[in-house]
Amino acid sequence: MIKEIFTWWNKQTLGTRLNTFLFGKLVGEDKSGNKYYESKSGKRWVIYNGEVEASKIPSEWYSWMHHTGNKIENSHKLDKYSWQKEHIPNQTGTENSYHPKKNKSKNASNKKYTSWKS
């Protein structure tokens, strides 16, 4: 409860909880457990499951959050093609982040270019 009062990065603050309870109508939930709410005035927000990270919002809910009118907004359950990957949040700063392969050979002859300061 103390975290909820003073920090915004741990799900929701006390003010957000009260606003959600008083004015929010649950619209749906995604596979990650994030819950999406809307007020009568049209304001939309998300309560994240776990760490607050905007990249955790999948594309089918992103358009809804930004009031983009398209076929996704009506169903929130878009059929995906076999070649489409599942949505994953931004992996920067985690063990799963991308690291280019380092050149293990220190031999300059393996370079694909020649530096002009030789």
Considering the domain boundaries, does residue 11 fall inside one? yes
Q: What is the DSSP string of 100-116?
A: PPP-----GGG-SS--S
pLDDT digit string, tens, across residues 50-97: 778 888 888 888 888 888 866 544 555 667 788 888 878 888 888 888
The pLDDT value recorded for residue 56 is 84
Considering the domain boundaries, does residue 95 fall inside one? no
Q: How many domains in the chain?
A: 1
For 47, the enclosing helix (H) or strand (E) is strand 44-47
Q: Which domain holds residue 49?
A: 2-78
Answer whether 0.95 is exceeded by the pTM: no
Contact 68, 60 (CB under 8 A): no
The CA radius of gyration of the chain, in Å to the nearest whole number, is 22
Q: CB under 8 Å to 89, separation ≥6 — which residues?
A: 32, 53, 55, 56
